């Protein structure tokens, strides 16, 4: 059954069917439910766009900024598994080097089908180099600032908006943020905008003092939480922009003599493996890591017919690190006069 035939069966356009199977961004729950119901009934599965690379070339390159970041580690694992099934080879190189042009001789020698980028900062010589050299590339789990490359990602602003709303529905009004680098396109900008918008829509205000910036690691979360404590803020919840940072924030909170979530709720972002390893286990905004890997490779193999962007759906995964705010906690009572 072709996509046109299936779309007619669902009484929607082929573009709507394609959007549903690429993450469903912007579709109503009723439309999404109808498409899935029909797919189950007739056994429809979208044809994979993954094509064999040209003869003798089965290599792609991944540029990653962090080797120990749990999300990137999980994403690399998914990419490696997908690549192995398809007969591709994957070469992983560090981004953020001072002279990315040094990679060019290697890339010219290997002639890969393209590259996946895990991060792009506001001034990124690596992406500019790839663009000028006309190397096919995909932003994997992020947004390309200069729109040089197609991308696969969740809507970071919408995810942060939903996460902040979740905390406010639990009764939290004094919320701290531990963000990635300020110049990071998604973490440092879109997510903060989503948090601000959610609070503004509820008649609240997010002071700049409630935000700390760092990296994405456990140590960054630990240091960031210490900074929030140093500012003597009457917080009842903290939203961290990676699960690694959430794990570090939890340790800092506990070392300061407070409990999670009894005194301070902690919300993470990513739903990578570390979210099941914290104590308590982490409530987090989930990114579909397996789909990000699969869709990124599809786009890379679909050049030059690749779409500009694929936006995948996030979801909230509730565990034990967030709880209701029923009364002033110890931190609010301690710092209520500051």
pLDDT tens, position by position, 310-331? 899 999 999 999 999 988 888 8
Do domains 59-154+290-313 and 156-287+318-335 share one topology? The answer is yes
Residue 281, pLDDT above cutoff 90: yes
pLDDT band at 52 (very low <50, low <70, confident <90, very high): very low
Structure confidence at residue 54 (pLDDT): 42
User: Are the beta carbons of 288 and 48 closer than 8 angstroms?
Assistant: no
Q: What average pLDDT does the structure give for the chain? A: 87
Domain spanning 59-154+290-313: CATH 3.20.20.80: no
Structure confidence at residue 187 (pLDDT): 65
User: Are the beta carbons of 251 and 284 closer than 8 angstroms?
Assistant: no
pLDDT band at 305 (very low <50, low <70, confident <90, very high): low
% the chain with pLDDT above 70: 89
Dihedral sign (CA 233, 237, 239, 242) = positive
pLDDT band at 289 (very low <50, low <70, confident <90, very high): very high
Helix (H, G, I), strand (E, B) or coil at 103: helix
Could you give the angle at which helices 156-169 and 191-201 cross, rounded to 10 degrees? 40
Residue 208 is given by DSSP the state G
Structure confidence at residue 51 (pLDDT): 47
Question: What mean pLDDT comes out for the span 243-271?
Answer: 97
Q: Strand pairing of 115-117 and 137-140?
A: parallel
Structure confidence at residue 199 (pLDDT): 98
Which has more confidence, 200 or 98? Answer: 200
CB count, 10 Å around CB of 297? 26
pLDDT band at 13 (very low <50, low <70, confident <90, very high): confident
Tell me how far apart the alpha carbons of residues 43 and 36 are, in angstroms, rounded to a whole number: 10
Question: What mean pLDDT comes out for the span 268-282?
Answer: 97
The answer, as to whether pTM is greater than 0.85, is no
Structure confidence at residue 271 (pLDDT): 97
User: Are the beta carbons of 187 and 216 closer than 8 angstroms?
Assistant: yes
CATH of domain 156-287+318-335: 3.40.50.2300
Non-local (6+) Cβ contacts of 247 within 8 A are: 218, 221, 268, 274, 277, 278, 282
Residue 184, pLDDT above cutoff 90: no
Residue 55, pLDDT above cutoff 50: no
Question: What mean pLDDT comes out for the span 119-132?
Answer: 75
Q: Which range has the top average pLDDT, 44-48, 180-184, 300-304?
A: 300-304
Structure confidence at residue 48 (pLDDT): 52
pLDDT band at 3 (very low <50, low <70, confident <90, very high): confident
Structure confidence at residue 16 (pLDDT): 84
The DSSP-derived string for 34-64 is: HHHHHHHHHT--PPP---PPSTT--EEEEEE
Structure confidence at residue 142 (pLDDT): 83
**Phi, psi values for residue 335, rounded to 5°:** -115, 20
* Alpha carbon separation from 15 to 7, 50, 84 (Å, rounded): 8, 19, 30
What does the radius of gyration of the chain's CA atoms come to, in whole angstroms?
A: 21
Question: What mean pLDDT comes out for the span 7-18?
Answer: 86
38's tokens: 């029909």
* Alpha carbon separation from 49 to 65, 129, 230, 262 (Å, rounded): 28, 27, 52, 48
Tell me how far apart the alpha carbons of residues 160 and 211 are, in angstroms, rounded to a whole number: 14
* Alpha carbon separation from 238 to 127, 167, 180 (Å, rounded): 33, 9, 14
pLDDT band at 263 (very low <50, low <70, confident <90, very high): very high
Domain residue ranges of the chain, discontinuous segments joined by +: 3-37, 59-154+290-313, 156-287+318-335
Residue 338, pLDDT above cutoff 60: no
Residue 186 is given by DSSP the state I
pLDDT band at 53 (very low <50, low <70, confident <90, very high): very low
């Amino acid at each position: 059954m072709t996509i046109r035939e299936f779309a007619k069966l669902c009484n929607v356009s082929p573009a709507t069917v394609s959007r549903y199977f690429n993450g469903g961004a912007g579709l109503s729950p009723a439309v999404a439910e109808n498409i899935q119901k029909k797919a189950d009934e007739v056994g429809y599965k979208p044809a994979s766009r993954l094509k064999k690379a040209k003869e003798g070339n089965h290599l792609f390159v991944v540029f990653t900024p962090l080797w120990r970041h749990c999300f990137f580690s999980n994403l690399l694992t998914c990419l490696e598994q997908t690549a192995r099934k398809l007969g591709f080879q994957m070469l992983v190189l560090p981004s953020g080097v001072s002279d990315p042009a040094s990679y060019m001789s290697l890339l010219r020698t290997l002639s890969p089908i393209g590259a996946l980028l895990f991060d792009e900062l506001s001034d990124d010589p690596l992406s500019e180099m790839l663009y000028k050299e006309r190397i096919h590339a995909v932003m994997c789990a992020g947004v390309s600032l200069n729109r040089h490359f197609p991308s696969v990602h969740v809507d970071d602003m919408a995810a942060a908006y939903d996460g902040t709303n979740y905390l406010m529905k639990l009764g939290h009004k004094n919320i701290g943020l531990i963000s990635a680098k300020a110049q990071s396109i998604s973490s440092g900008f879109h997510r903060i905008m989503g948090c601000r918008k959610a609070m503004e829509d509820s008649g609240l205000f997010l002071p700049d003092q409630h935000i700390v910036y760092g990296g994405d690691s456990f140590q960054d979360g630990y240091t960031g939480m210490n900074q929030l404590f140093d500012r003597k803020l009457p917080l009842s919840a903290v939203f961290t922009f990676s699960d690694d940072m959430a794990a570090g924030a939890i340790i800092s909170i506990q070392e300061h003599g407070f409990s999670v979530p009894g005194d301070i709720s902690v919300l993470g972002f990513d739903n990578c493996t570390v979210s099941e390893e914290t104590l308590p286990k982490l409530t987090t905004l989930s990114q579909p890591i397996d789909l990000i890997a699969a869709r990124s490779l599809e786009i890379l193999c679909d050049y030059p017919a690749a779409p500009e962007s694929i936006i995948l759906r996030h979801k909230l995964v509730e565990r034990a690190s967030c709880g209701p705010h029923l009364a002033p906690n110890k931190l609010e009572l301690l710092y209520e006069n500051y």
